[in-house]
Amino acid sequence: MRALLIILGIVLAASGGVIAYHAAYVAPHAAIVITETSAHELPNVWHIVGGLILLVVGLLIAFFAARRRA
């Protein structure tokens, strides 16, 4: 059971990191803000936040599963 939780945590953390990276740097941007002087593209913030949450949750699952019990 402990090994399964460690593997699950690592898989969740890795997938969260991939989702966040993909949303921030690779995927097409979600919005374009046009002002009088310039235009800026904004990344999809909710995908980035979701990926980071997945990364942290996976990290915590793997960390607490790998800790030695007293």
pLDDT in tens, 25-68: 998 888 888 888 888 888 889 999 999 999 999 999 999 999 97
> What's residue 70's pLDDT?
53
Q: How far is it, in rounded angstroms, from Cα 55 to Cα 7?
A: 13
Tokens in use for 12?
């969740």
Per-residue confidence (pLDDT) for residue 41, from 0 to 100: 83
Grouping H, G, I as helix, E, B as strand and the rest as coil, residue 31 is strand
Report the first-to-last Cα separation within the chain, whole angstroms: 18
> Whole-prediction pTM value?
0.82
Dist. CA 21–CA 57, nearest whole Å: 16
Pairing assessment for the beta strands 39-42 and 31-34 based on DSSP bridges? antiparallel
